């Protein structure tokens, strides 16, 4: 058993209290490799933003759970050696079993998500409460979920979105004891968040997604005032990087994300954590494709992963400052 405190992490309790007070959202960036992790640390370090490093079950399988844990621990040391001073949490994203959550807690995670939203309500409550009991015994915070997000990302698959029912949230919190709650108000996993027929088009022909259900968010806030809310599937699917991909051999058609202004509005509410994964993937892919198109003879990974890392750092800094409001530089 390794305590997250030994590794230099914090849990999300104080992070969310300060975010609520400051009316911003803590960025939760997923990573799968070293370059993504470097970009997250540098981007958040330069903007003096708190950050939640997210590891999905898919990332653990891809990169090896032991290696990922030591990468995250090394990221904390990298931040301190670079002179950065900002809180860092290590979080399991979309944990789907009690055993997975326990494994992460025992290897140094400071926060876990138990996603029982695919179960019937009472089973979701039972599973979440079980994880909370174990996690709180180790001072680890727990995120639960009510409602189902559509889309595909790693091992999370849902064909349709089911909005969170505000009349369930009070009972869910009382019976589970979770520290934060992920809700469904119209965000979606992956780069194809909305079907074209769900969108309208602006004057230039660009697809415009349907607005988020802020009425549901406001009703949930009314019922559980001051409680930390989480948004998943909140990448903007940045059009400029979709264009770079498509202009360099890619085929991302009708990729649409959540407009930045809607995320900023959410971040000023009780939404204390916003998850961003797809945008990181798109930026990295765009820069790699660009390098290969311009330098087809290149084979040194540093020459294409380096530019991808640097561009992702820039995007993270911009998101922290202009979208999430978490920057303190």
Examine residue 104 and state whether it is found in any structural domain, yes or no. yes
Domain that holds residue 135: 4-323
Examine residue 210 and state whether it is found in any structural domain, yes or no. yes
What confidence score (pLDDT) does residue 152 get? 45
User: For residue range 160-190, what is the model confidence (pLDDT) as tens digits?
Assistant: 468 899 999 999 999 999 999 999 998 876 6
With 90 as the cut, is the pLDDT of residue 202 above it? no
User: For residue range 19-76, what is the model confidence (pLDDT) as tens digits?
Assistant: 999 999 999 999 999 999 999 999 999 999 999 999 998 888 898 888 988 999 999 9
Confidence label for 209 from pLDDT (cuts 50, 70 and 90): confident
What confidence score (pLDDT) does residue 40 get? 98
Residue 171 appears among annotated catalytic residues = no
DSSP 89-108: EEEEEEE-SHHHHHHHHHBT
CATH of the domain at 124: 3.20.20.70
- Averaged over 73-97, what is the pLDDT? 96
With 80 as the cut, is the pLDDT of residue 207 above it? no
User: Regarding beta strands 111-114 and 188-189, do their DSSP bridges make them parallel or antiparallel, or are they unpaired?
Assistant: unpaired
CB burial readout 184-199, b (16+ within 10 A) else e: bbbbbbbbbbbeeeeb
Counted domains in the chain: 1
Instruction: For residues 195 and 119, give the distance between their C-alpha atoms in angstroms, rounded to a whole number.
Output: 25
- Averaged over 126-153, what is the pLDDT? 88
- Averaged over 90-103, what is the pLDDT? 96
Asked whether the beta carbons of 148 and 184 are under 8 A apart, the reply is yes
Q: Which of 85, 93, 139, 215 is catalytic?
A: 93
Examine residue 95 and state whether it is found in any structural domain, yes or no. yes
Examine residue 328 and state whether it is found in any structural domain, yes or no. no
Examine residue 46 and state whether it is found in any structural domain, yes or no. yes
Examine residue 79 and state whether it is found in any structural domain, yes or no. yes
| Contact residues for 110 (Cβ-Cβ < 8 A; gap 6+) | 4, 5, 9, 10, 11, 12, 89, 90, 91, 140, 141
**E-only strand ranges, the chain:** 26-30, 51-56, 88-95, 111-114, 141-146, 150-153, 156-158, 180-183, 188-189, 200-201, 207-208, 229-231, 271-276
What confidence score (pLDDT) does residue 257 get? 86
Q: Virtual CA dihedral for 225, 230, 233, 235, nearest 10 degrees?
A: 90
What confidence score (pLDDT) does residue 162 get? 80
Instruction: For residues 25 and 16, give the distance between their C-alpha atoms in angstroms, rounded to a whole number.
Output: 8
- Quick one: which of 230, 226, 319 has its CA closest to 21? 226
What confidence score (pLDDT) does residue 316 get? 98
- Averaged over 113-139, what is the pLDDT? 96
- Averaged over 187-212, what is the pLDDT? 71
Asked whether the beta carbons of 317 and 29 are under 8 A apart, the reply is no
User: For residue range 241-272, what is the model confidence (pLDDT) as tens digits?
Assistant: 999 999 999 999 877 888 999 999 999 999 99
Residue 305's φ and ψ, nearest 5 degrees, are: -75, -30
Examine residue 180 and state whether it is found in any structural domain, yes or no. yes
Residues paired with 256 in a beta bridge: 192
User: DSSP character for 212?
Assistant: P
Examine residue 329 and state whether it is found in any structural domain, yes or no. no
pTM: 0.93
- Averaged over 97-114, what is the pLDDT? 97
Query: How confident is the prediction for the chain on average, in pLDDT?
Result: 92
With 70 as the cut, is the pLDDT of residue 313 above it? yes
């Amino acid at each position: 058993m390794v305590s997250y405190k030994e590794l230099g992490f914090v849990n999300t309790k104080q992070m969310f209290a300060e975010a609520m007070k400051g009316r911003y959202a803590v960025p939760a960036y997923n990573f799968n490799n070293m370059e993504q992790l470097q970009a997250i640390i540098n981007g958040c370090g330069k903007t003096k933003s708190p950050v939640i490093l997210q590891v999905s079950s898919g990332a653990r399988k891809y990169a090896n759970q032991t290696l990922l844990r030591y990468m995250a621990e090394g990221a904390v040391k990298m931040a301190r050696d670079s002179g950065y001073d900002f809180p860092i949490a290590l979080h399991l994203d979309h944990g789907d079993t009690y055993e997975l959550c326990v494994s992460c807690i025992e290897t140094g995670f400071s926060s876990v998500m138990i996603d029982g939203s695919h179960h019937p309500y009472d089973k979701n409550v039972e599973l979440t409460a079980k994880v909370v009991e174990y996690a709180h015994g180790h001072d680890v915070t727990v995120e639960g979920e009510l409602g189902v997000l559509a889309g595909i990302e790693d091992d999370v698959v849902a064909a349709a979105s089911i909005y969170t029912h505000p009349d369930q949230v009070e009972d869910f919190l009382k019976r589970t004891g979770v520290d934060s709650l992920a809700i469904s108000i119209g965000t979606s996993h992956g780069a194809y968040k909305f079907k074209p027929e769900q969108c309208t088009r602006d004057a230039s022909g660009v697809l415009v997604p349907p607005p988020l259900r802020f009425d549901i968010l406001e009703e949930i806030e009314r019922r559980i005032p001051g409680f930390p809310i989480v948004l998943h599937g909140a990448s903007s699917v940045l059009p400029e990087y979709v264009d770079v991909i498509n202009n360099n051999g890619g085929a991302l058609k009708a990729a649409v994300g959540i407009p930045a202004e809607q995320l900023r509005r959410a971040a000023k509410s009780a939404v204390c954590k916003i998850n961003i994964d797809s945008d990181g993937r798109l930026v990295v892919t765009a820069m790699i494709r660009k390098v290969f198109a311009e330098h087809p003879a290149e084979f040194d990974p540093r020459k294409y992963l380096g530019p991808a890392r640097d561009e992702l750092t820039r995007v993270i800094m911009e998101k922290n400052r202009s979208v999430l409001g978490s920057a303190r530089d």
